[in-house]
Structure 1
């Protein structure tokens, strides 16, 4: 697959690798929190190019509001038994599992990948609550590659939203009750926007 992507000038020719895992935590309401670490993955644009080319991206259709619609992004899910498409993703998952072992109590085992091709691709408000995230505290770690896009979070039932612009190797971890008590979204944008890959690491049984 070929997509038009403008690499970061700060990332040109930098070797691909993980920096120190020292995120800054923001407490939300109802026991939810987010950790954010800009530029955790060095050389992220090279990984973006490899994933766009190597991952067998799939277009899906889903039932929404009593009709079947195209999912506005391309997808690929790697279960815990599936080999990941790049060694760096395995390194990132292992580093996250080690860092959060004391709080999470279990490793991150799956990886869900999304390709947002341009500003028309998006994901609607939701929580990762189809599995255990709907009834117990957990974590979802997202590594963002490519063009930065806005990730919005808001409390379920209404309230002010929180915005983080993520891309070029940035990390965000949503923890505590976040999947039950908050929602998140990547909205469409009319401004010129290049592609982005989102990699979501989750524990077993969290979707």
Structure 2
């Protein structure tokens, strides 16, 4: 698959590396026990990783029933179950680092990885929460490493209104190459999130979502 990063993102002089999760980490309390952490530039010099994932991951194009029609899912996907080998060693390192950092709050390790490839601004994911499995009833975390062209992660309360203790009716988080975002607490149950379509001339993006067992 011939998808390349824009030249402004290339920095071949650096060596790819993960920083400390907690360095420059900013938490936003969303109310009702929900929160979101953002760690800019967690992965540095990630162009090699981006290129390797685009090239080597066996991406799958899905189709989904919507009302009376079957439509193409506007992104490519690949899911790595617990114990399945990840497509690059640094993703193993990332999953371990997240498990260690969030152990006091999470109480269990991240074990799976779901990958999405957004080929351009027409690819997107609609409003949803990761509520399949235990996350429908209990608090959990979903950690996302963003690679490639910047895209916006939008969040809004599930019921459409504000939540107790929250100053936010919605959020729009611009995620850049190498950024980390973690949605935790009740976020999957009480908030929805999306990657909206955009008419801006954006390049491809890969999203790597780390989850605990029994959560999709």
Q: TM-score, normalised by structure 2?
A: 0.93
Distance 1:111 1:84 in 2: 8
Whether the 8 Å CA contact 2:37–2:183 is kept in 1: the answer is yes
Distance 1:109 1:82 in 2: 9
Q: Following TM superposition, by how much is the alpha carbon of 1:10 offset from its aligned partner in structure 2, in angstroms?
A: 6.9
Q: Which residue is equivalent to 1:11?
A: 11
Q: Which residue is equivalent to 2:197?
A: 188
Whether the 8 Å CA contact 1:7–1:146 is kept in 2: the answer is no
Q: Which residue is equivalent to 1:111?
A: 113
Distance 2:64 2:185 in 1: 29
Number of residue pairs matched by the alignment: 207
1:46-67 deviations in Å (ceiling 9; x for gaps): 2101110110111001112232
Q: Following TM superposition, by how much is the alpha carbon of 1:44 offset from its aligned partner in structure 2, in angstroms?
A: 1.3
- Secondary structure in structure 1 of the residue aligned to 2:61: coil
Q: TM-score, normalised by structure 1?
A: 0.97
Q: Which residue is equivalent to 2:143?
A: 141
Q: How do 1:118-137 and structure 2 match up within 5 A?
A: 118-137=120-139
Distance 2:61 2:99 in 1: 30
Ranges of 4+ aligned residues in structure 1 off by more than 6 Å: none
Q: 1:190 to 1:82 in 2, by over 3 A?
A: same
- Secondary structure in structure 1 of the residue aligned to 2:104: helix
Distance 1:206 1:187 in 2: 23
Q: Which residue is equivalent to 2:183?
A: 174
Q: Following TM superposition, by how much is the alpha carbon of 1:30 offset from its aligned partner in structure 2, in angstroms?
A: 1.5
Whether the 8 Å CA contact 2:5–2:47 is kept in 1: the answer is no
- Secondary structure in structure 2 of the residue aligned to 1:101: helix
Moved more, 110-119 or 41-50: 41-50
Q: Following TM superposition, by how much is the alpha carbon of 1:8 offset from its aligned partner in structure 2, in angstroms?
A: 4.0
Question: How large is the Cα RMSD of the aligned pairs?
Answer: 1.2
Q: Unaligned 5+ residue runs, structure 2?
A: 162-168
Q: Which of these residues, 27, 33, 37, is aligned with residue 39 of structure 2?
A: 37
